[in-house]
Structure 1
Amino acid sequence: MHKLKNILSICLLLSTTQAFANDDITGVWRTIDDKTGFSKALVEITKDDSGVYSGKIIKILPRPGYTPKTHCQNCPAPYTNAPIVGLTILEGMKQSKDKSEYTGGSALDPLSGKRYKGKIKVSNNGNRIRMRGFVGIEAFGRSQTWIRDK
């Protein structure tokens, strides 16, 4: 009986740890274009010491028959003509009270040069996020699915 309690305790501890890990957005994510459905880039999301998340493009993923842009041509200063690889496109995101949401930051679209308010919603299993960029209110925006890259 004692052995069964130990096994159950370990299982409970592991499932609790996994539940908290599912909400963590640090790591590498494959962005999926909401218009074409193709993968666009790999973005690495990191967290600083104050709990603020940012993300930078670490690799461009060209789709068949398309030559991707390599520089941020229409971006505002200081990003004007900056290489897209290494570009910080996600800034200032903080985990909200609902641990599966991150808000308060902004997202930069390197193809249009536009900056949007950002919101992230983590899927139940932690392997997908819905990145929402909007101007003004959330209803006026676009969403992309990002898939955790293993």
Structure 2
Amino acid sequence: MLRLSIALSALLFSQLSFAALTPVGLWKTIDEETNEAKSLVRISEQDGVLVGSVEKILNPAKQDAICEKCKGDKKNQPILGLQIIEGAKDAGDGSWQNGEILDPNNGKTYTLKLTPQEQGKVLEVRGYIAFFYRNQYWQRVE
């Protein structure tokens, strides 16, 4: 009975640990050049695919900013509420890949890799084109 109890506890703990290592949640974005918090992005899962939208802009002067440099249906749309992450899927190695992330500041779309770190408290966000990439480290809010 004790062994069964230990085994069930270990299974429950591993499931809780796994749940904390998902990108799903609310994240504070951090500018990689200034180390300043810029926005809050909510990442959710829809049919096994991650999507993320800007939920809050932290600089009051930029609350009404629009995506002037974006292309297609996102051009001239408000950044607040804009879906900037699309299509990332669980790669089975602790990361979510093959999606896209939009940088509303320059209008560029990058291939995306999301990797939770520090027990899910930090999210490494890598946007890349070919062999060139940028990393940001977002902080979990919830």
How far residue 6 of structure 1 moved from its aligned partner, in angstroms, is 6.4
Distance (whole Å) between structure 2 residues aligned to residue 39 and residue 148 of structure 1: 12
State the Cα deviation string for residues 81-131 of structure 1 (Å, max 9, x = none).
100011000111001020x11110111000111111111111140111100
CA RMSD after TM alignment: 1.7
Q: What 5-or-longer segments of structure 2 have no aligned partner?
A: none
Taking the TM superposition and a 5 Å limit, the aligned residue runs for 1:1-150 are 5=3, 8-49=6-47, 51-62=48-59, 67-68=61-62, 70-98=65-93, 100-137=94-131, 140-150=132-142
Choose between structure 1 and 2: higher helix proportion.
2
How far residue 11 of structure 1 moved from its aligned partner, in angstroms, is 3.2
Distance (whole Å) between structure 2 residues aligned to residue 44 and residue 58 of structure 1: 6
When Rg is computed on C-alpha atoms for both structures, the one with the higher figure is 1
TM-score (norm 2): 0.90
Q: Is the 8 A contact 1:22 1:124 kept in 2?
A: no
TM-score (norm 1): 0.86
Q: SS of 2:125's equivalent?
A: strand
Distance (whole Å) between structure 1 residues aligned to residue 5 and residue 92 of structure 2: 32
Q: What 5-or-longer segments of structure 1 have no aligned partner?
A: none
Distance (whole Å) between structure 2 residues aligned to residue 101 and residue 33 of structure 1: 21
Runs of 4+ in 1 over 6 A off after TM superposition: none
Distance (whole Å) between structure 2 residues aligned to residue 95 and residue 133 of structure 1: 16
Distance (whole Å) between structure 1 residues aligned to residue 53 and residue 20 of structure 2: 21
